[in-house]
Amino acid sequence: MTCPQLRLLSKPYQVEDHTPLHVDIDSARLWDLVNDGAVHLLLRRPALLELARRHDPDLLDYCEQLLSSNDYDEWLTGLTTLSAVGTPDAVDRLILAYAHSLDEDRKTVLSVVARILTAEHVRPFSIMVRDVAGPGEIDVTGWTRVAVSTLRDACRRFGVETVSVGELTHSYDDSSIESITLDDFTSPTPPEK
């Protein structure tokens, strides 16, 4: 009998390594651009990414507004901006967005979280990947090692074999994380003597 398989697809991908567009503009002017409804969202995105790079404290609340929008492009911009912020609070908000999303939108949020996932959020992510831990294919291009390992662990628990197709490149390349399982985070710690 053949074991069901989940194919982990990975394509070559490059991390953009260039000077940000609005690096020399002060935050107040960036916010003026972001809040200008006459400017198309596509032209406001670089300003949002620059504010994310600066970890602007008001950006998380602005992203909440984007996530609650009925416009798909605004919703997606909220996800990508939170991903660019990358703080634990931003990841928490992405996980909450996943909980409020349906079907295909969940896969989009899952992929965004997987690109910035660290060990701190393995537990909620392990619940998220249950939706995709079955036979089929999933694109894991740019996922962190922690995210791929968490998916593999979930598949193993469901009796699904994972097969890598293409070279797994990671958005966060840390060679010290070879394999991580949910057991590493759920095992009780022995009492100190």
Q: Which of 2-6, 58-62, 72-76, 126-130 has the lowest mean pLDDT?
A: 2-6
pLDDT at 19: 53
Query: pLDDT class for 2, splitting at 50, 70, 90?
Result: confident
Q: Is the pLDDT of residue 1 over 80?
A: no
* 18 located within any domain: no
Identify whether 193 is part of a domain: no
Residue pair 48/81 in contact (Cβ under 8 Å)? The answer is yes
State the residue range of the domain holding 131. Answer: 5-13+24-186
Contact call for residues 15 and 171 (beta carbons, < 8 A): yes
State the Cα–Cα distance between residues 66 and 84, nearest whole angstrom: 15
pLDDT band of 167, cuts 50, 70, 90: confident
Residue 188's CB is within 10 A of a number of other CB atoms, namely 5
138 lies in some domain: yes
pLDDT tens-digit map of 89-117: 999 999 999 999 998 899 999 999 999 99
Token pair, residue 119, equals 């060990």
Q: Is residue 117 part of a domain?
A: yes
Q: What is the pLDDT of residue 11?
A: 86
Q: Are 110 and 141 in contact (CB under 8 A)?
A: no
**Cα separation of 66 and 70, whole Å?**
9
In a domain, 9, yes or no: yes
Q: What is the pLDDT of residues 25-76, one digit of tens each?
A: 788 999 999 999 999 999 999 999 999 999 999 999 999 999 999 999 999 9
The CATH number covering residue 112 comes to: 1.25.10
Q: Does residue 29 sit within a domain?
A: yes
Domain tally, the chain: 1
Mean pLDDT computed over 169-193: 42
Report the percentage of the chain scoring pLDDT > 90: 73
Neighbour order of strands in the sheet with 136-139: 136-139, 5-9, 161-165
Is residue 192 domain-resident? no
Is 191 inside a domain boundary?
no
